[in-house]
């Protein structure tokens, strides 16, 4: 039996969370995914639980309290998450934002699509690339 992989999504929009969780379940049934609406709570929980090391973390860019760039910086500052693949997940597609997130250690940037099929395709492509590495 294949080891279950862990995934975390940090997004203040619960509708977007639901859509993401549904699509990711369709793409990889062996992926256990947890969602947080509050980036501050997510960072606190990850700081406190050094045993929890998700393979994939998806972070929304536009959130209150802590935006995606700030959240990424805090996550990349946690040694136990060094091997986690962190992807920014947002409606924002500005080159400066994408470049800044890459400089801070994001492994990629997924622009939120308007259709479920597009999100499934993007996630399928992302996980296919990961398997090939």
Q: Domains of the chain by range and CATH? A: 5-132 (3.40.50.2300)
The pLDDT mean for the chain works out to 90
Query: To which residue do tokens 């760039």 refer?
Result: 69
* pLDDT for residue 3 is more than 60: no
**pTM, to two decimals:** 0.91
Q: Mind listing the pLDDT tens digit for each residue in 71-119? A: 999 999 999 999 999 999 988 777 888 888 999 999 999 988 888 899 9
Q: Mind listing the pLDDT tens digit for each residue in 23-33? A: 998 888 888 99
Confidence label for 131 from pLDDT (cuts 50, 70 and 90) = low
Concatenating the DSSP letter of every residue in the chain gives -PPPEEEEEE-S-HHHHHHHHHHHHHH-TTEEEEEES-HHHHHHHHHH-TT---SEEEEES--SSS-HHHHHHHHHT-GGGTT-EEEEEES---HHHHHHHHHTT-SEEEEPPSSHHHHHHHHHHHHHHHHH-
pLDDT at 1: 45
Residues whose CB is less than 8 angstroms from the CB of residue 96 and which lie 6 or more positions away in sequence, other chains included = none
Comparing 128 with 35, which gets the higher pLDDT? 35
């Amino acid at each position: 039996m294949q080891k279950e992989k862990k995934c975390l999504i940090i997004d203040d929009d619960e509708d977007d969370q639901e859509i993401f969780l549904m699509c990711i379940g369709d793409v990889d049934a062996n992926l256990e995914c947890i969602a947080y609406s509050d980036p501050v709570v997510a960072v606190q929980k990850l700081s406190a639980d050094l045993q929890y090391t998700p393979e994939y973390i998806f972070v929304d860019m536009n959130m209150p309290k802590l935006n995606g760039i700030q959240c990424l910086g805090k996550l990349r500052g946690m040694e136990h998450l060094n091997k986690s693949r962190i992807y920014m997940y947002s409606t924002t597609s500005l080159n400066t934002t994408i470049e800044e997130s890459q400089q801070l250690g994001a492994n990629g940037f997924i622009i939120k699509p308007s259709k479920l099929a597009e999100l499934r395709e993007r996630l399928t492509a992302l996980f296919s690339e990961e398997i090939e590495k």
